[in-house]
Structure 1
Amino acid sequence: MTLFKLYPLIQALIIVIFFIRPIRCSLKTKLIISAILLVGTFKLYVFIFTGGNAMDPKLSRISTMFLSCLYFSSLMVLMLTIFRMSINGLYKALRRNISKFIINPHSLRYALLSVIVSLLLGTVSVYNGFKPAALCSYTVNIDTLSPLADGMRIIHLSDLHISAPTTEEEIEDIVKEVNKRNVEIIVITGDLVDGDVDSLKKKTDILFKLKAKYGVYAVSGNHEFYSGYDSWIKYFNKGGIRFLENESVTISDNDYPLLNICGITDATAYKYSDKKADIPTAIKNVDSDAPVIFLTHQPKVADELSAISDLTLAGHTHGGLFPVLKSLVAAANHGYVSGFYTIGKEKMIVSNGTRIWAGIPLRLKTPAQIIEITLKRTNSF
């Protein structure tokens, strides 16, 4: 059993021993609080029991949302408990008296307030997680952009995470919203799916309705490698979504090069297969007369592209999900977590994701996004 599978048990023990046990109340009340918090804590085990896993839950949308509300609530209680223990421990040390504390661990009022606040935050976060993506627009200036490409528009999707809880209506709505923009290029920066082709084909087939003048391009994310990489890449390429795995394509107008679109295999691919991200191979066929648009799932790769890419598009971070976690996600991705960045000549846009991963479907102040990018010549008028 991996540490990942043991984590829910560790979380449950901390909640029971340090949050529930000290409360001065009836056994019935403790059992009710325990039921609320522990069902959510053991969400991973419920996924496994029902034939799924954290990456690919085999549950309906409503069941997933319900369990996730309870999960986030229990996680908030865990964080509040650790905070309380830290504050009280520091206070005891300063006062040199182990009987002193600032936050009373025996208080039923404090316990109930913690549970209620956590449930409210959990419900709001999961509701936000499943909300439709909002349109987000950027204008990006590129010095070397051809006059013929001035004003060209790109739709950037990322982290669709199509899985059992996803409805066909959700994907239809995304496709309709994108197609009505009537853009020249559509790109998808990884984590399209959580599950196998046979299980998700009816939903993912909808993506083949995406339309753009110069085509739809994508790169793999880490979740493709959890879900059967080779099968998915073959399936999407056959359906008209071209995956750029360490390769490039030049977009031309009457043989005049407008843009190079380059893409690399996900940075963690080497852990799961014989494939690996290879930037030199990805750029070896680019046309030097046209700017480079680089697709990568993980934004931390941007530092290696600062002398290569004019515009890098990435996802993976989900915008950090919520404020406290956002700093940790940023630190794990070289500081890149959400929005627009400039790294030398390179500009980068990191998407919050177009949908949400069912394993942690939480959002606070990090809305899902469909990003529309307008390319402009720096000196165009």
Structure 2
Amino acid sequence: MIARRNFLRAAAGFLFASLSTTTYAVGIEPILRLKTVTYRLTPPNWPDGLRLRLVLLADFHACRPWMTAQRIKGIADQAQALQGDMVLLLGDFLSGMRLSGGQVAPEDWADALSGLSAPFGVHAILGNHDWADDPEAMAQGHGPTVVHRALAGIGVPVYDNRAVAMDKDGHRFWLAGLADQYGPLRPLDDLPGTLAQVKDAAPVILMAHEPDIFPKVPDRVAVTLSGHTHGGQIKIFGMMPFIPSRYGARYAHGHIVEEGRHLIVSAGLGTSGVPMRFGVPPEIVVVELGAQASA
């Protein structure tokens, strides 16, 4: 009898812990634990006197009830309050979520982002789900996708293998963005063609949805900015069961430096596959270039 009582008590404890963990992973961490993470760095050959504050938003995965237009607007308002010189949207606006109550209409999530502004603009790239979850673009085999149209409707340019020069405080820099590397139709990215548009020695800021391009990025690029991995989305005792990268955990999250080259990978905002985050809360990322390095 005592053994049976102990067994039932242990079983009840296990069930309670499992339910509590699931509740946290579904209803608390993905929604209530949004944080702001700041990285400060001065890449090699960065011009003295050039300071840039970038605000990065990645992987919304808009869907109901997990990432509604109302929630996206709240995130955008929080990002706007950070007063970036630029706001960079790093792809995967569409859901990728099979366990959802439905999609958020593109005009609704775009309207939720329409309040974003910055002295040097709001700029975007697309992610793999912005193709895979667009039946019309998939059937046609080409864009413009629904995300292209939605962002154009609020005046946000999409960088599909494009580089643009900008000037601040007498210093030039380039903003470049790659088309998606793992689109379900075919790879669309063109790193050499994109960098060929850069006509001088000014530093390049590169937006690339998937961080897997980083080994091919030359030191000509000051910093590469990515999302896609969600930081693994679920992290238990330091282990990440699934990271959508051919490099495993190498580029899962954070500030990575290899041979003097800098990569920053956002853990993103939404969820994909399953509506859970555990050990990897959603985040808005701030990158301060030309600032003292982060501790």
Q: Same fold (TM over 0.5)?
A: yes
Matched-pair contact (CA < 8 Å) for 1:135–1:371 = yes
Using the TM superposition, give the Cα deviation of residue 177 of structure 1 relative to its aligned residue in structure 2, in angstroms: 1.4
- Corresponding residue for residue 124 of structure 1: 24
Structure 1 consecutive aligned stretches of length 4 or more whose deviation exceeds 4 Å: 107-113, 195-198
Aligned-partner SS, 1:323? coil
Q: Kindly tell me: are residues 172 and 199 of structure 1, through their superposed partners in 2, closer, same or farther at Cα, counting changes over 3 Å? A: closer
Q: Does 1:246 align with 2:142?
A: no
Q: Kindly tell me: are residues 162 and 198 of structure 1, through their superposed partners in 2, closer, same or farther at Cα, counting changes over 3 Å? A: closer
CA distance in 2, matches of 1:198, 1:367: 22
CA distance in 2, matches of 1:110, 1:352: 35
Q: Which runs of 5+ in 2 are unaligned?
A: 1-6, 97-101, 138-144
| Higher fraction of strand | 2
Moved more, 187-196 or 159-168: 187-196
Using the TM superposition, give the Cα deviation of residue 280 of structure 1 relative to its aligned residue in structure 2, in angstroms: 1.0
Aligned-partner SS, 2:290? strand
- Corresponding residue for residue 130 of structure 2: 224
Q: Kindly tell me: are residues 309 and 190 of structure 1, through their superposed partners in 2, closer, same or farther at Cα, counting changes over 3 Å? A: same
Matched-pair contact (CA < 8 Å) for 2:255–2:264 = yes
Using the TM superposition, give the Cα deviation of residue 316 of structure 1 relative to its aligned residue in structure 2, in angstroms: 0.9
Pick the structure with greater CA Rg: 1
Q: Which runs of 5+ in 1 are unaligned?
A: 1-106
Aligned-partner SS, 1:169? helix
Matched-pair contact (CA < 8 Å) for 2:212–2:245 = no
Return the TM-score normalized by structure 1: 0.64
CA distance in 2, matches of 1:109, 1:142: 57
Q: Does 1:374 align with 2:288?
A: yes
Identity %: 24
CA distance in 2, matches of 1:111, 1:184: 54
Alignment of 1:168-183 (within 5 A): 168-183=69-84
CA distance in 2, matches of 1:194, 1:306: 32
| Higher fraction of helix | 1
Q: Does 1:200 align with 2:106?
A: yes
Alignment counterpart, residue 53 of structure 2, candidates 118, 134, 153? 153
Alignment counterpart, residue 289 of structure 1, candidates 197, 201, 215? 201
Using the TM superposition, give the Cα deviation of residue 321 of structure 1 relative to its aligned residue in structure 2, in angstroms: 1.8
- Corresponding residue for residue 34 of structure 1: none
Higher-RCO chain (CA-CA 8 Å, sequence separation at least 6):
2
- Corresponding residue for residue 345 of structure 1: 260
Alignment counterpart, residue 187 of structure 1, candidates 88, 112, 121? 88
Using the TM superposition, give the Cα deviation of residue 164 of structure 1 relative to its aligned residue in structure 2, in angstroms: 2.7
Q: Kindly tell me: are residues 231 and 167 of structure 1, through their superposed partners in 2, closer, same or farther at Cα, counting changes over 3 Å? A: closer
Letter in 1 for 2:286: E
- Corresponding residue for residue 14 of structure 1: none
